[in-house]
């Protein structure tokens, strides 16, 4: 039972490990004995095996990181993400989704059978169904950041909410990849957090100038912001051996917020239902 999650001695890759949910997940992975390779544009304080500085919207940085990462990987955690505003809609899509997709696609051949991928989406992406046609058009592009940039610039109406669109893409990508990855014994899932107390939220409310009352509309009925650990633990669980038959799902980690919306118990502000 000492290795119940199955990470001991396993190589894992995690992005966004310098702060928030990514930092909490990286620390948890170190604590359970994983060999952690961490990427972030900012300095990483967790005592990981290797930290690599990388901008998720830079192909040069991503290619350099891919060259440094090990050839055999057990699990990938996609935690890097930025709010929009204050980050531009285009950069939010490139960082939150396109860079994630580019890195993930490159590392899939290195993930061993029985391995897994887990990503952080958002409650803000839960309204993907009404937007599915545009999301599928975007996903049909090759995974280059150049193709993504050109599409974003040609479809400003689809990307007006860059953050929401990026998370819709992540959810649909996760579900779309499950079939092909299953053939190789690899799982893929994502979580959709409710508002979380983090540097991300501070940036959204500060530089993004989003007032507290606007964020409060999306809090679960327990009335509180989640902690980074509240999100890191289910994320680490999803890539663990305890979740070995779970794949292709997006789990709302929101203390029932999406359930309340689906049951008509509160306003559907994201188009979830």
Task: Read off the DSSP letter of residue 98.
Answer: I
Look at residue 1 in the predicted model and tell me its pLDDT: 57
Look at residue 273 in the predicted model and tell me its pLDDT: 87
User: How many Å apart are CA 197 and CA 200, to the nearest integer?
Assistant: 8
Give the torsion through C-alpha atoms of 196, 198, 201, 207, to 10 deg. 180
Look at residue 268 in the predicted model and tell me its pLDDT: 94
User: How many Å apart are CA 273 and CA 268, to the nearest integer?
Assistant: 7
Domain residue spans of the chain: 11-262
Look at residue 39 in the predicted model and tell me its pLDDT: 98
The segments of the chain whose pLDDT lies below 70 read 1
Please tell us whether the domain made up of 11-262 is placed in CATH 3.30.390.50: no
Look at residue 126 in the predicted model and tell me its pLDDT: 95
Structure tokens at 263: 């049951």
Look at residue 2 in the predicted model and tell me its pLDDT: 78
Look at residue 44 in the predicted model and tell me its pLDDT: 98
């Amino acid at each position: 039972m000492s290795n119940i999650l199955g990470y001991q001695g396993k190589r894992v890759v995690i992005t966004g490990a310098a702060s928030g949910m990514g930092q909490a997940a990286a620390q948890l992975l170190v604590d359970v004995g994983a060999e952690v390779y961490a990427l972030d544009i900012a300095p990483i304080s967790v005592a990981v095996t290797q930290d690599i500085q990388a901008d998720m919207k830079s192909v040069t940085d991503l290619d350099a990181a891919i060259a440094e990462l090990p050839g055999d990987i057990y699990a990938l955690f996609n935690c890097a993400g930025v709010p929009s505003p204050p980050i531009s809609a285009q950069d939010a899509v490139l960082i939150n989704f396109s860079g994630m997709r580019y890195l993930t696609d490159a590392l899939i051949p290195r993930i061993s059978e029985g391995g897994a991928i887990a990503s952080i989406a958002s409650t803000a992406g839960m309204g993907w169904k009404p937007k599915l046609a545009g999301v599928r058009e975007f996903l049909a592009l090759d995974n280059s950041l150049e193709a993504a940039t050109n599409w974003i610039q040609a479809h400003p109406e689809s990307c007006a909410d860059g953050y929401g669109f990026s998370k819709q893409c992540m959810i649909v990508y996760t579900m779309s990849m499950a079939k092909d990855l299953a053939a190789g014994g690899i799982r893929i899932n994502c979580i959709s957090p409710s508002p979380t107390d983090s540097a991300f939220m501070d940036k959204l409310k500060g530089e993004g100038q989003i007032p507290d009352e606007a964020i409060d509309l999306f809090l679960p009925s327990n009335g509180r912001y989640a902690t980074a650990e509240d999100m890191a633990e289910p994320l680490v669980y999803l890539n663990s051996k305890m979740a070995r038959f779970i794949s292709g799902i997006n789990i709302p980690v929101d203390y029932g917020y999406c359930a309340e919306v689906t049951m008509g118990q509160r306003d559907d502000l994201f188009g979830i239902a």
